[in-house]
């Protein structure tokens, strides 16, 4: 590696600009996952507990409309950025729209709930594909580093998810759901400001297309890259993207049970009240869970400050204020929980496990992808699907003692923990890797639009997840809870085996892309 390249990749062997995007994405995911963690719980909770007493079917149905639509609008958002706004303005505008959405939901009326969801769907469409496109642009000259860069970026996604679920769930349980929704909006606004005032570090990637500052050299490079690929080779690569996209629908259809049926399983069918030694152990775990990841993220933040504070001081100042606020909320949370003799685990708490596991496992998977043992795309996807199936297998086994048609139970929480562990490992093999392969298989000028197309996969997956998940009561009534989870065991595992079988064909169609 040359001295110039070493300097360019000066922060944890990556560009400092990647970590500015890391924190931007972190705050957006804080708001998304924090709100989503309490959404169904709020709608189905009793009036006395601050909820609206909706049926499970109706609540999961509305969640499905939201979680599927936020993956439909990125197609339009990618095209708008490619043709009109540029990635940077699209990201900022989308982030501001989402801020308005969370603020609307905090008012807790049916009108503002639907208005807030509308703002969130529109904002996400502008934000999601285009922040990913900026990451791609930063690494266009270094395609061999993209798998690692997207995996690190994915840590930001899940760091935000972890903090959002942890703190929005805490405020919803200890103050009100309105406070939980409101906190999501506050940090979405801070993330918007942090991104906007940090634009200088993005190397002209994603500025408005007609800006003169866009380097002619970059345009020439993109044109040359497209001309060098013959039509047949590019056709084959599009086929690979299509195959990956089609089968990934099955992944999200199962994985996205987390905020719907798995959240209900955590609240109504899992033993969450602990006492004695069990309560003491959980408190120790909760202290570690609440502080260790935050310490790691804060360490990354300090390293970023040292390298970029003189360049983007206002952005870094906003980021610093945000983290001081997070630390204050975490300390308050622990001061409330620790003195109690028993422990009542919030149902939303289990959702942090996915993000927590990713924070610890993502660096290991990133190293794996950058090593000589890096498997092919199909092998990665196949392993991911099988791991997802194993996670649901744990839930199917753990819930096998629940009587047919039961509305409540007290299943050991270990099965949920195991499920989230295997789901997380599966996710790391599929989601960030999928983004990376889209960026490598698609011509550079079509990156924004194709990321939007890729998110259609999430739309379909979330739609199917909601349709099946909203039928949880009917399936449990007619069959059993174990049968419900077996559906999500068998299908992903079967798809994983198909990927392993198709590996030679997919490698051939990729024409040398690794």
pLDDT tens, position by position, 367-379 = 888 788 888 888 9
Q: Which of the four pLDDT bands, split at 50, 70 and 90, describes residue 269? A: very high
Alpha-carbon span 219 to 210, nearest angstrom? 12
Helix (H) or strand (E) holding 478: helix 472-478
If you average pLDDT over residues 146-160, what whole number do you get? 79
Note the pLDDT of residue 103: 93
Q: Which of the four pLDDT bands, split at 50, 70 and 90, describes residue 346? A: confident
pLDDT of 277-310, one tens digit each? 889 999 998 899 889 889 988 998 999 998 888 8
CA distances from 246 to 252, 423, 508 (A): 11, 19, 18
pLDDT tops 90 at residue 433:
no
CATH number of 15-510: 1.20.1250.20
Q: Which residue has the higher pLDDT, 151 or 396?
A: 396
Note the pLDDT of residue 7: 66
CB atoms within 10 A of CB 476: 22
pLDDT tops 50 at residue 361:
yes
Note the pLDDT of residue 209: 61
381, two tokens: 């996807």
Note the pLDDT of residue 142: 82
If you average pLDDT over residues 157-183, what whole number do you get? 89
Cβ partners under 8 Å of residue 251, min gap 6: 384, 385, 388, 426, 430, 461, 492, 495
CA distances from 133 to 12, 74, 82, 406 (A): 21, 12, 10, 47
pLDDT tops 80 at residue 213:
no
Percent of the chain with pLDDT over 70: 94
pLDDT tops 80 at residue 21:
yes
Note the pLDDT of residue 208: 66
Q: Which of the four pLDDT bands, split at 50, 70 and 90, describes residue 5? A: low
If you average pLDDT over residues 176-184, what whole number do you get? 92
Q: Which of the four pLDDT bands, split at 50, 70 and 90, describes residue 446? A: confident
Q: Which of the four pLDDT bands, split at 50, 70 and 90, describes residue 387? A: very high
pLDDT tops 80 at residue 4:
no
pLDDT tops 60 at residue 216:
no
Q: Which of the four pLDDT bands, split at 50, 70 and 90, describes residue 431? A: confident
pLDDT tops 50 at residue 68:
yes
Q: Which residue has the higher pLDDT, 215 or 453?
A: 453
Structure pTM?
0.78
Dihedral (CA of 180, 151, 375, 226) sign: positive
Note the pLDDT of residue 338: 85
pLDDT of 96-142, one tens digit each? 999 999 999 999 899 999 999 999 999 999 998 899 888 888 888 88
Q: Which residue has the higher pLDDT, 497 or 226?
A: 497
Note the pLDDT of residue 222: 41
Alpha-carbon span 310 to 304, nearest angstrom? 11
If you average pLDDT over residues 258-270, what whole number do you get? 89
CA 33 to chain CA centroid, nearest Å: 8
Percent of the chain with pLDDT over 90: 39
Instruction: Select, from the ranges 147-151, 272-276, 355-359, the one with the highest average predicted confidence (pLDDT).
Output: 272-276
Note the pLDDT of residue 107: 92
455, two tokens: 């998110």
pLDDT of 33-66, one tens digit each? 899 889 998 999 889 888 999 988 899 899 889 9
Beta bridge partners, 344, equal 273
Domain segments of the chain as ranges: 15-510
Instruction: Measure the CA angle with vertex 80, ends 79 and 82; round to 5°.
Output: 60
Cβ partners under 8 Å of residue 318, min gap 6: 190, 193, 194, 197
Beta bridge partners, 11, equal 14
């Amino acid at each position: 590696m040359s001295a110039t390249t070493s300097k360019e990749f000066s922060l944890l062997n990556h560009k400092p600009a990647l970590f500015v995007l890391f924190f931007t994405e972190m705050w957006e995911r804080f708001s998304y996952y924090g709100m989503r963690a309490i959404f169904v719980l709020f709608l189905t909770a009793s009036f006395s507990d601050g909820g609206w007493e909706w049926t499970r079917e109706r609540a999961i149905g509305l969640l499905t409309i939201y979680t599927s639509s936020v993956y439909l609008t990125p197609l339009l958002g990618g095209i708008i950025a490619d043709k009109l706004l540029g990635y940077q303005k699209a990201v900022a505008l989308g982030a501001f729209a989402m801020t308005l959405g969370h603020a609307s939901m905090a008012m807790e009326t049916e009108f503002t709930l639907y208005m807030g969801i509308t703002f969130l769907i529109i904002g996400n469409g502008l934000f999601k594909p285009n922040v990913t496109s900026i990451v791609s642009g930063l690494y266009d000259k270094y395609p061999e580093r993209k798998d690692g860069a997207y995996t690190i970026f994915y840590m930001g996604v899940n760091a935000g998810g972890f903090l959002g679920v942890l703190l929005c769930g805490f405020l919803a349980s200890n103050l009100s759901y309105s406070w939980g929704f409101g906190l999501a909006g506050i940090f979405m606004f801070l993330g918007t400001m942090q991104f906007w005032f940090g634009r200088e570090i993005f190397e002209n990637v994603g500025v408005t297309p007609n800006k003169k500052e866009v380097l002619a050299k970059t345009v020439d490079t993109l044109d040359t890259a497209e001309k060098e690929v013959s039509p047949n080779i590019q056709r084959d690569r599009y086929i690979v993207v299509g195959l990956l996209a089609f089968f990934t629908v099955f992944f999200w259809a199962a994985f996205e049970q987390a905020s719907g049926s798995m959240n209900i399983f955590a609240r109504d069918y899992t033993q969450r009240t602990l006492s004695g030694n069990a309560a003491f152990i959980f408190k120790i775990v909760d202290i570690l869970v609440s502080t260790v990841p935050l310490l790691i993220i804060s360490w990354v933040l300090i390293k970023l400050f040292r390298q970029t504070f003189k360049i983007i001081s206002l952005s870094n100042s906003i980021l610093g204020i945000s983290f001081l606020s997070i630390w204050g909320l975490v300390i308050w949370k622990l001061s409330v929980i620790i003195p109690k003799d028993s422990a009542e685990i919030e149902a939303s708490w289990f959702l942090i496990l996915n993000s927590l596991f990713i924070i610890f496992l993502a660096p290991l998977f990133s190293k794996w992808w950058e090593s000589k043992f890096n498997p092919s795309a199909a092998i990665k996807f196949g392993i991911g699907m099988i791991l997802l199936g194993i996670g649901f297998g744990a839930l199917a086994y753990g819930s096998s003692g629940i009587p047919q048609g039961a509305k409540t139970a007290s299943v050991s929480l270990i099965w949920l923990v195991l499920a989230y562990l295997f789901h997380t490992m599966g996710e790391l093999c599929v989601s960030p890797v999928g983004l990376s392969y889209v960026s490598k298989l698609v011509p550079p000028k079509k990156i924004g639009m194709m990321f939007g197309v890729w998110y259609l996969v999430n739309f379909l997956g979330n739609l199917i997840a909601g349709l099946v998940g909203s039928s949880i009561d009917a399936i449990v009534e007619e069959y059993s809870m174990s049968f419900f989870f077996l559906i999500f065991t068998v299908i992903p595992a079967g798809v994983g085996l198909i990927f392993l079988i198709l590996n030679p064909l997919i490698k051939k169609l990729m024409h040398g892309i690794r």
